[in-house]
């Protein structure tokens, strides 16, 4: 499962901190990039956003997250490469009354982007996000560059 450069978030306290930084409100639409095994997804869902759209490149992980949160009616999991999705789809922010295809549109201009993504795609992804027609109200990326330090004091897995 780590073939795409992922370092999976396993610490629930860090996931809660990321969700807190997003300042999620009940009427928010959240775009989560790379839900992985759903640790951050869970922390976001606890905040009860109106809608959470999770885009996962790994189809097996996307299916895993769908199964893990099968009863969450406000969660939509899309199996896609987010870079291609943002570059090539008709992804846009629209007024709720104009929604026609929920898999390619987010319902309000106040959406927030939350992600725990591989370090090497961060700058490219930020450029794509900020080139969208309607910009997000907030973007939260914990930019953690893992430096191998096994045996060093203070080293721990995320």
Domain architecture of the chain: domains with CATH? 12-140 (3.40.50.150)
How much is the pLDDT for 116?
84
pLDDT tens-digit series, residues 34-90: 999 999 999 999 999 999 999 999 999 999 999 999 999 999 999 999 888 888 765
DSSP annotation string for 6-58? ------HHHHHHHHHHTT--TT-EEEEE--TTSHHHHHHHTT--SEEEEEESS
Q: Please give the model's pTM, rounded to 2 decimal places.
A: 0.79
């Amino acid at each position: 499962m780590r073939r795409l450069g992922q370092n999976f978030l396993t610490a629930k306290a860090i996931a809660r901190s990321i969700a807190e930084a997003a300042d999620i409100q009940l009427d928010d639409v959240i775009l989560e990039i790379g839900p992985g095994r759903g640790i951050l997804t869970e922390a976001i869902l606890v905040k009860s956003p109106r809608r959470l759209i999770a885009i996962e490149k790994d189809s097996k992980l996307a299916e895993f997250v769908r199964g893990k949160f099968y009863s969450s009616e406000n969660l939509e999991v899309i199996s896609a490469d987010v870079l291609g999705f943002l570059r090539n789809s008709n992804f846009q922010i629209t007024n709720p009354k104009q929604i026609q295809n929920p898999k390619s549109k987010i319902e309000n201009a106040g959406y927030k982007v939350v992600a725990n993504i591989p370090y090497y795609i961060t700058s490219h992804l930020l450029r794509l996000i900020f080139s969208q027609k309607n910009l997000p109200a907030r973007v939260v990326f914990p930019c953690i560059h893992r430096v191998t330090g096994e045996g060093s004091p203070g080293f721990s897995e995320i």
